[in-house]
């Protein structure tokens, strides 16, 4: 059953399960779980930070970071369509008393530098104090260009803002950059993170761990982050059984992300062929440009209900939503989707007759 809903649906591999089973354990609230400590130290060294903190979810690591940069009544500039603003239940405002200042996200996933600059408030008691710029990479599967990140970071520094990266799929961005530049993915990841004061990285999306994310920053920042994690209920005890999965993922599942990108390319090419020559879908399905492991396709209203039902009846699982009068399907490749799954999905599409 090809499951393209998200890269969060993966199951731990047998080798990852073995690492979890064998992990030495302690009590992470007392900071003496050796497996958690090893993961945090490894991740910090890998990505060029002084320290890291393991937490249950990316939603929590993002909030921990925002809380570390902003005080009550401060403001963070975020993308209109990004997770920190739209998909994390308003946590920065509800729990952090941080005002989000959304900026329109451009088709390529960036925020216009002029829009960022215009959103920064003057030092005036009428306004929330702008303290932080948040970027997201990847965003909807799109990779922020390294030159753009450097320019955004320079703007933020010149205006006294801290920078946080929601890098839930940061290693997918690094994989795409490595393929483009002929470089090593770990080097690209470290370079990508070098512009930011803090970074949140998810271990349970493309990397295939069952649970967990990391927030990285300076030692002082992570010291405060540990306190914030406790306030948010994220302090776990024998968490090493989960951290061991994250450690395994960082060591063994980063380079294989290139396979997910290749499988998405295969899927996108097959769907593009359907858009041009399928008896029913020709002219009724739009395949959007893709860069990593996420693809969006739009279906015309007259064919969408039948096509979505057809996929579901044949156990091809995707997410769908209404978007601009069309039905948008999101296809995500991951650790548990192989070439045979892509081919099975394309065969199912080919057999669709409305």
Could you report the per-residue pLDDT of 34-56, keeping only the tens digit for each? 999 999 999 999 999 999 999 99
CA dist., res. 21 & res. 27, Å (int): 16
pLDDT computed for residue 354 by the predictor: 76
pLDDT digits (tens, 9 = 90+) for 243-295: 999 999 999 999 999 999 999 999 999 999 998 989 999 999 999 999 999 99
In the predicted model, is pLDDT for residue 332 greater than 80? yes
* 162-167 and 129-136 strand pairing: parallel
pLDDT computed for residue 325 by the predictor: 81
pLDDT computed for residue 49 by the predictor: 98
- Residue range 117-140: average pLDDT? 96
Tell me: domain 257-351, CATH 3.90.1150.10, correct? yes
pLDDT computed for residue 312 by the predictor: 96
pLDDT band at 70 (very low <50, low <70, confident <90, very high): very high
pLDDT computed for residue 323 by the predictor: 85
In the predicted model, is pLDDT for residue 217 greater than 90? yes
pLDDT digits (tens, 9 = 90+) for 223-255: 999 999 999 999 999 999 999 999 999 999 999
CB atoms within 10 A of CB 30: 9
pLDDT digits (tens, 9 = 90+) for 137-186: 999 999 999 999 999 999 999 999 999 999 999 999 999 999 999 999 99
Give span(s): CATH 3.90.1150.10, the chain. 257-351
CATH topology (fold) of 14-252? 3.40.640
Contact 213, 58 (CB under 8 A): yes
Residue percentage of the chain with pLDDT more than 70: 100
pLDDT computed for residue 231 by the predictor: 97
Give span(s): CATH 3.40.640.10, the chain. 14-252
pLDDT computed for residue 348 by the predictor: 96
Nearest C-alpha neighbor of 205 from the set 254, 240, 241: 254
Nearest C-alpha neighbor of 5 from the set 315, 343, 349: 315
pLDDT computed for residue 218 by the predictor: 98
Residue with tokens 């393929």: 179
pLDDT computed for residue 86 by the predictor: 93
In the predicted model, is pLDDT for residue 1 greater than 80? no
Six token digits for residue 268: 């996108």
In the predicted model, is pLDDT for residue 326 greater than 90? no
Q: Label each residue of the chain as H, E or C.
A: CCECCCCCCCCCCHHHHHHHHHCCCCCHHHCCCHHHHHHHHHHHHHHCCCEEEEECCHHHHHHHHHHHHCCCCEEEEEECCCHHHHHCCCHHHHCCCCEEEEECECCCCCECHHHHHHHCCCCCCCCCEEEEEEEECCECCECCCHHHHHHHHHHHHHCCCEEEEEECCHHHHHHHHHHHHCCCHHHHHHHHHCCCCEEEEECCCCCCCCCCEEEEECHHHHHHHHHHHHHCCCCCCCCHHHHHHHHHHHHHCCCCHHHHHHHHHHHHHHHHHHHHHCCCCCCCEEECCCCCCEEEEEECCCCHHHHHHHHHHCCCECEEEEECCEEEEEEECCCCCCHHHHHHHHHHHHHCCC
Six token digits for residue 6: 């998200």
């Amino acid at each position: 059953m090809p499951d393209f809903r998200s890269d969060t649906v993966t199951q731990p591999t047998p080798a990852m399960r073995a690492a979890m089973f064998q992990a030495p354990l302690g009590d992470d609230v007392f900071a003496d779980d050796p497996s958690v400590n090893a993961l945090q130290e490894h991740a910090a060294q890998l990505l060029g930070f002084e320290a890291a903190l393991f937490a249950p979810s990316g939603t929590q690591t993002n909030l921990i970071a925002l809380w570390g940069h902003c005080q009550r009544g401060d403001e963070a500039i975020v993308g209109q369509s990004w997770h920190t603003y739209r998909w994390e239940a308003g946590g920065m405002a509800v729990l952090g008393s941080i005002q989000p200042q959304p900026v329109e996200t451009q088709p390529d996933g960036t925020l216009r530098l002029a829009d960022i600059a215009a959103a920064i408030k003057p030092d005036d008691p009428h306004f929330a104090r702008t303290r932080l710029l948040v970027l997201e990479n990847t965003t909807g599967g799109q990779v922020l260009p390294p030159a753009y990140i450097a320019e955004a970071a320079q703007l933020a520094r010149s205006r006294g803002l801290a920078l946080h990266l929601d890098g839930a799929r940061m290693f997918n961005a690094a994989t795409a950059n490595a393929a483009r530049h002929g470089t090593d993915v770990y080097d690209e990841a470290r370079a990508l993170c070098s512009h930011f004061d803090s970074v949140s990285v998810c271990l349970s999306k493309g990397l295939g761990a069952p649970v967990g994310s990391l927030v990285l920053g300076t030692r002082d920042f992570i010291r405060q982050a540990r306190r914030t994690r406790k306030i948010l209920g994220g302090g776990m005890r024998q968490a090493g059984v989960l951290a061991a999965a994250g450690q395994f993922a960082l060591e063994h599942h980063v380079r294989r992300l290139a396979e997910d990108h290749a499988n998405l390319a295969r899927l996108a090419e097959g769907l593009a062929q359907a858009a041009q020559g399928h008896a029913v879908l020709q002219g009724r399905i739009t395949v959007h440009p893709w860069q990593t492991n996420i693809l969006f396709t739009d279906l015309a209203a007259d064919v969408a209900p039948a096509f979505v039902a057809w996929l579901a009846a044949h156990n091809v699982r995707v997410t769908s939503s209404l978007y601009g009068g069309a039905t948008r399907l999101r296809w995500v490749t991951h650790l548990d989707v192989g070439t045979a799954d892509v081919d099975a999905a394309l065969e199912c599409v080919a057999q669709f007759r409305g």
